[in-house]
Chain A
Amino acid sequence: DAKTTQPNSMESNEEEPVHLPCNHSTISGTDYIHWYRQLPSQGPEYVIHGLTSNVNNRMASLAIAEDRKSSTLILHRATLRDAAVYYCILRDRGNYQLIWGAGTKLIIKP
């Protein structure tokens, strides 16, 4: 089964870019890569997703390696409100199941 590996925690300074890595070396050709984040005492919140190409939205950018065995979530200018647990997730086409990583706790220092 495909799985994702993420660092347990990362620290960054406020207003600096943050690069959150994720390894998914067993990814299959039909797996989408999703990122969600969970702020304290809240449910998870969608951040971004992609299949093969890099993606940008108003929250973040997703850089996907050419071989798709890893990806990086990029927050361009972190704020204190971005402090959360960030989950890298694989989702197979035609399957409801999200394969969640253990998550990276992002700590933002003022």
Chain B
Amino acid sequence: DTEVTQTPKHLVMGMTNKKSLKCEQHMGHRAMYWYKQKAKKPPELMFVYSYEKLSINESVPSRFSPECPNSSLLNLHLHALQPEDSALYLCASSQEGRSADTQYFGPGTRLTVL
């Protein structure tokens, strides 16, 4: 099974809402990633978890809060977002995060902030 699942597929939220995105993998991977992708642009790395510890936070605003409850799950908590945060949010995982490792991506959550 080489699948990364993400829920929900689509999310519409107001600027005062609190919501969460969920990501799950059962490949035994120890590195998990959140990316943000705007239309017609490549994905931008937001966060990396390695062995359930936050390893990289690419200067992401605090209105985005990641959480890794266990080695298979990754959440992204959203609060007080802005319309410019509307984008496709992608989760990925890899064996350990080494430079030759393949990253497996989920289908993404399409987020719209009104």
Of B11-19, B64-72, B77-85, B97-105, the one with at least 4 CB within 8 A of chain A? B97-105
A residues in contact with B74, CB < 8 Å: none
What residue in chain A is nearest B108 (Cβ atoms)?
A43
Check A96–B56 contact: CB distance below 8 A. yes
Query: Which residues 21-70 in A have Cβ within 8 Å of B in the complex?
Result: 30-32, 36, 41-46, 49, 51
**A96-B97 contact in complex given A43-B107, A44-B43, A101-B42, C-beta closer than 8 Å:** yes
Whether the pair A93, B102 counts as a contact (CB closer than 8 A) is no
Are A49 and B43 touching (Cβ within 8 A)?
Answer: no
* B4 contact set on A, CB distance < 8 A: 43
**Are B42 and A93 closer than 8 Å at their CB atoms?**
no
Residues in A neighbouring B20, C-beta threshold 8 A: none
- Option from B48, B102, B106 in Cβ contact (under 8 Å) with A96: B48
Q: Mark B53-76, 1 if CB is under 8 A from A, else 0.
A: 001100000000000000000000
The 5 closest A-B pairs by CB, nearest first: A43-B105, A100-B42, A93-B99, A46-B102, A96-B48
